[in-house]
Structure 1
């Protein structure tokens, strides 16, 4: 069984934090910090543990924020030496976010300094929310930084809908201010950075599909393989929804004369087993067609209604008058992101974004 996420923050890590901070500030009350940070820790989940450690930092670091931030900066690793790093910096993000708004530039500089050792994507969001223009003016300069972690922070920290983090409602409503940041990183040499750019664009696509489809359209011509991969990943939500403009960006027109026959090989699936199915696709048109074939499983929810989840499957080119059969096994097993319920589920076949066939199957829970 996988280790619970909450255990990423544990008493041993707190003691290590105390040691690193004490080296930066010999008068730091390490014992009190450890006692406060670990109080009832076993009853807390991950973000609650981070909050508890942040509160312990607040109680034991100097009340003067400039002095406290200087200690935290000196507690970061120097070169390849020891220091605050990894998940220990999650509560540091929270500390800076809570106490640093009155020291805007100092705080952004600290977050930039710590991001190579973990990430500051959680910490910078309160600064963007408080003064978007001022924060983005500074963050935009990070796109040219020599450190790829800092460059990624410029795109990841400004994502309108970053998971686990506070939402940025102004950027959800109008993402135009972050497009220059994403454009500056479009051909970054690090895949790690490019994936972040793609995820930010995908966030934007959930609220502004036309804006992202247009962005991709403008920047896909003569794109390198790396840029094309980024733009494809950025379009994944639009492609799953069958957005015509997004499909056209990648050479998929509306399917014409395409028929699909769906066969369910396992009409009753025991939880933990696999759903087996196949489709026979025919092209009755007079020209070959590029087809993007996906499928959606409509899972039963606790209240008995169905909720769809789209899965990527296959791309084929089907000649005029041709027929092709393809099969798939889809595992239905325990995962952390979904609770399964017994009952009649539905599967739909999507060809170039349009539902082309559908059938039901039963899920049996032991």
Structure 2
């Protein structure tokens, strides 16, 4: 039988979360009608996915918070969880603040300085990475002036917002088309944060650079050329994560900078077992590399699964494998179990799924497994 899917993301904003938030808002402003607010949100949640639930919360806040933005922002700030209180206690925090941040972005567009001040408080309880983006689009000079100050903020959450909020292609967020076309305004901010003391901040910088790599690989290659020599272990790890898309694509300048430009000098085989699986099963990959070189080889070994789509065509997805070394004349066996299970971000379809092994960005071996969806697998 097919195992149950993980709980949907949409349940992060649920009737209990909304009711609890209404209580916090009412406690800090007796004029706030918590019952009416809940009535405007809760009955609609079941039919909505996560982002739509956050927008429903924002719609209701527009109707039930004070008409004056300064008053509404102050009300939201008073209702926030105190920073010294544990998450989930004593005030607004968590996923409810996605909708609250959207409210600030909508109603604060004409008062961007006040809106940014409010988002600085919110991001320390959840994140304001979605809410700040419309402000960047409408008031780029003002927001970037503020971000240049925030790179020195005492809060790692505020410093992370500098990077995460300006990511050109943030998942679930408004695409910043100006920064997709020209990422240069963000680069000084990333340079200031790439050696941040917080791993949380550095991870965001890596993801931001990886976003840039999708549109401007030359920019990221130049960044590596400048910042990789003599990098600290923390910075080196950040830059490796920032390079992941270009490494998977086999982009030669980046492979060269990581010492992975040379193709495999030797042979490679891939075995998959079983050859037939049902949705919910795993496929075992066994990769054997044999050196025919007279010196050690530094290898990045990834694999590509060509997922079958509804129309029978395929869509390739690269999965991270191994960073390894193959000594002269050595044989090396690498093993991995690849789960083929229901997830919210991919729909599986029956058929033959090709798996291709790539070494230093170049295909070296392939095999295939047959996936059955909705009925038992054939024997392998």
What's the TM-score bracket when you normalise by the shorter of the two chains? over 0.9
Q: For residue 311 of structure 1, what is the aligned residue in structure 2?
A: 319
CA contact (8 A) 1:242 1:354 kept: yes
Deviating above 6 A after TM superposition, structure 1's stretches of 4 or more consecutive aligned residues are none
- Range with greater deviation from structure 2 (201-210 or 7-16): 7-16
Report which stretch shifted further, 243-252 or 294-303: 243-252
* Corresponding position: 1:8 with 2:12: yes
For residues 318-329 of structure 1, the aligned pairs below 5 Å read: 318-329=326-337
**Where do 1:95-174 residues align within 5 Å?**
95-174=103-182
* Cα pair distance change 1:80/1:280, threshold 3 Å: closer
Q: In the TM superposition, what is the alpha-carbon distance from 1:298 to its structure 2 partner?
A: 0.8
Shift of 1:206: 0.6
Deviations 1:94-131 (A, max 9, x none): 10111111001000011011111111111100000112
How far does residue 256 in structure 1 lie from its aligned partner after superposition? Answer: 5.2
The CA deviation at 1:308 is: 1.1
| Corresponding residue number in structure 2 for 1:58 | 62
SS across alignment from 1:27: coil
Distance 1:322 1:27, change over 3 A: closer
SS state at 1:170 partner: helix
Rounded to whole Å, the distance in 2 between the matches of 1:254 and 1:92 is: 51
1:233 equivalent in alignment to 2:241: yes
Q: Which has the bigger relative contact order, CA under 8 A and spacing at least 6?
A: 2
Counterpart pick for 1:288 among 296, 314, 330: 296
Q: Shift of residue 254 of structure 1? A: 1.7
Given candidates 342, 346, 363, the residue that maps to 2:350 is 342
The CA deviation string for residues 148-182 of structure 1, in whole angstroms up to 9 with x for no partner, is: 11011111111101111111000011101001111
Deviates more, 1:117-126 or 1:17-26: 17-26
Q: TM-score, normalised by structure 1?
A: 0.95
Q: SS of 2:287's equivalent? A: strand
Whole-Å separation in 1 of the counterparts to 2:92 and 2:73: 13
Question: What is the alpha-carbon distance in structure 2 between the residues aligned to residue 281 and residue 102 of structure 1?
Answer: 61
* Structure-2 residue corresponding to 1:242: 250
Instruction: Give the 5 Å matches for 1:264-303.
Output: 264-303=272-311
Q: CA deviation at 1:294?
A: 1.2
The 10-residue stretch of structure 1 (52-61 or 188-197) with the greater mean CA deviation from structure 2: 52-61
Who is 2:32 aligned against?
28
Aligned residues: 366
TM-score of the superposition, structure 2-length normalised? Answer: 0.91
Q: Is the 8 A contact 2:264 2:360 kept in 1?
A: no
Aligned equivalents of 2:311, 2:112: Cα separation in 1: 47
CA contact (8 A) 1:244 1:254 kept: no
Residues 325 and 137 of structure 1: is their aligned pair in 2 closer, same or farther, counting only changes over 3 Å?
same
- SS across alignment from 2:110: helix
Change (3 A) 1:266 1:124: same
Equivalent of 2:192 in 180, 184, 197: 184
Q: Is the 8 A contact 1:143 1:181 kept in 2?
A: yes
CA contact (8 A) 1:261 1:357 kept: yes
Quote the Cα distance in structure 2 between the aligned partners of 1:243 and 1:272. Answer: 34
* Native 8 Å contact 1:266 1:277 kept in 2: no
Relative to structure 1, the CA distance from residue 94 to residue 278 in structure 2 (aligned partners, 3 Å threshold; closer, same or farther) is: same
Equivalent of 2:80 in 76, 82, 87? 76
Equivalent residues of 1:255, 1:289 under 8 A apart: no
Coordinate RMSD, CA, aligned: 1.7
